[in-house]
Structure 1
Amino acid sequence: MPLDGPPSPPAATYAETAEPQPEIPLIGGDVTEGVVRVGDTVRRPTGAHSPLVHALLRHLEHVGFPGAPRLLGIDAAGREVLTYVTGEVAGRPRPAWIADEARLVSVGRLVRAYDDAAAGFTPPDGVRAPSGPAPHPETPPAPAHPAEVIGHMDFTPDNIVFRDGRAAALIDFDLARPVPRVEEIHNAMLYWAPIGDPADADPHLRDVDVPRRCRLLADAYGMSGTDRGRLLEVAVLRTRRAWFSMKRMAETEGGGWARMWHEGVGDQIKRREVWLERHGSSIEAALTAP
């Protein structure tokens, strides 16, 4: 996909309201710290990802995509200011509705609506997704499929806002980057099917029919036949790479990455790889059945 375009203007300085308002910490994500709500706005730390995210959010606003916050500017503390998205998010402990199939279908539809809106986005000249730390030399290759959209790539239950029992909006675009569509739907399946050893799933998701839920997501998204045939390959390769990338991020970035690693995410990834070896064909069969 093209990655050049007109220069992106910096985010404007945000004009605060006359009356100071309290900062309410927003807790739920695994990595980003220091996110707070101030009135009808959310304040988030900026970083290397910010130029791409800001340009993407401007694009989504321009095309009228309703399922994302609006960028309002940068406050006096150097934080990005976004509109607060009202609704319900699956906090921790997870609610029982995380297993609801109607909600699952709505997630697939929201991911498709986002990808369609993002498909017309060309990042401005010089704006790129952060490359991150150099990969470990033993890191397996990535799936060899060309990028099609600037994907969200972080469809955790903490990052999807529901209204009236349906997925209505996405938040936390910090991991946005160029990807093929199959990786977007794989990312959603990872958290919502969920793809992995049931021992690592939320209690409400340990006894669900994972292949069926993958099929429901694929159908709701309108996944192409080609991508259905690629999904298992993508799942296996991404899982193999994830162990190395999570370890490297824990070592170089610390913070939430290090905490997740110390809490055993590396072992969880290894269990997912074993589970895929045993059950991946069932997912592929469910996705490709007439």
Structure 2
Amino acid sequence: MQTGEGEIPLPGGRITPGVVRVGGTVRRPVTARSSFVAELLNRLQHCGFTGAPRYLGLDDAGRDTFSFIPGSVPARFQSWSDLQLTAAGALLRSLHDATRGSRLAGTSPVVCHHDPGPNNVVFQRGQPVAFIDFDEAAPGDPLEDLGYMAWTWCISSKPQAPSTRAQAAQVRILANAYGLDTPDRSVLLDAILDRQNRNALWWRRHLDAPEPRVADNEQILARIAWSRREHDHTAVNRAVFASALR
């Protein structure tokens, strides 16, 4: 996709292609989700939540315009320090609290980001400070987001990953930082497993999809297989994770 003068294509954009930076702003093509995202970001700003871009309206080309948050966004999942996990858990709780009881949440407890992996977080001086890419934001249960965050920030089936006990200890740190209460701790593992299953199903729905595609079939099959390995790793070690959360 061609960009205009002074426009810098930004990495990512898997769901919404054509995302560019122009000076201190980010421009994105309007989608069916645009009005909800705009209202959500306006509410977050009104509530004093600083961990998200500001919505700035439409530009002359009819694109959604957002403030650009300086910093770095990790290109891949990796291991994180306890301090980084604590900041991430607190950031997610603040996001949820800013939407709790709002019209946008409807009959659900909060509005969920629904993709709060480290690849959708801006880091400054090594610490997570803001979420980006609210394309999938929608009413939901807090555990949908926390389960996904616990998986993508703490849990890994890779042979070189930290031990399962170390991973479980970090899930506990994340839950503590979020302020998860005792009843919900008993079902956090179910939420993690559910998000791993849902991730595999999300990718499967994109097999042989028409253009434009989020990835080719080989990449999609690899992501489905990875999601299943992650689910199996979590399920086999469930007792270790559950013990850490008690």
User: Shared fold by TM > 0.5?
Assistant: yes
- Percent identity reads 33
Which whole-Å CA distance do the structure 1 matches of 2:201 and 2:40 have between them?
28
Which whole-Å CA distance do the structure 1 matches of 2:109 and 2:71 have between them?
30
Gaps of 5+ in 2: none
Which whole-Å CA distance do the structure 1 matches of 2:22 and 2:136 have between them?
24
Which whole-Å CA distance do the structure 2 matches of 1:40 and 1:59 have between them?
21
Look up the SS of the partner of 1:262 in the other structure: helix
Look up the SS of the partner of 2:53 in the other structure: coil
Whether 2:133 is the aligned partner of 1:172: answer yes
Look up the SS of the partner of 1:99 in the other structure: coil
Which whole-Å CA distance do the structure 1 matches of 2:66 and 2:113 have between them?
17
Bigger RCO (CA 8 Å, 6+ sep)? 1
Question: Deviation string for 1:81-112 (max 9, x for gaps)?
Answer: 000011232235x7x7x522211111111111
Which whole-Å CA distance do the structure 2 matches of 1:259 and 1:150 have between them?
32
Counterpart in the other structure of 1:184: 145
Deviates more, 1:241-250 or 1:39-48: 241-250
Contact 2:171 2:241 in 1 (8 A): yes
Which whole-Å CA distance do the structure 2 matches of 1:179 and 1:257 have between them?
27
Whether 2:74 is the aligned partner of 1:74: answer no
Counterpart in the other structure of 1:242: 199
Which whole-Å CA distance do the structure 1 matches of 2:184 and 2:143 have between them?
6
- What's the RMSD between the two structures over aligned residues? 2.4
Paired residues, what number?
A: 240
Counterpart in the other structure of 1:62: 46
Look up the SS of the partner of 1:103 in the other structure: helix
Look up the SS of the partner of 2:65 in the other structure: strand
Whether 2:236 is the aligned partner of 1:278: answer yes
Q: Tell me the CA shift for residue 248 of structure 1.
A: 1.0
Which whole-Å CA distance do the structure 1 matches of 2:62 and 2:9 have between them?
17
Matching residue within 72, 75, 99 for 1:118: 99
Whether 2:20 is the aligned partner of 1:44: answer no
Gaps of 5+ in 1: 1-19, 129-145
Which whole-Å CA distance do the structure 2 matches of 1:220 and 1:103 have between them?
10
Contact 1:32 1:256 in 2 (8 A): no
Contact 2:206 2:214 in 1 (8 A): no
Whether 2:41 is the aligned partner of 1:84: answer no
Which whole-Å CA distance do the structure 2 matches of 1:102 and 1:63 have between them?
25
Contact 1:67 1:169 in 2 (8 A): yes
Query: Under a length normalisation based on structure 2, what TM-score does the superposition of the two structures give?
Result: 0.87
Contact 1:35 1:44 in 2 (8 A): yes
Whether 2:113 is the aligned partner of 1:152: answer yes
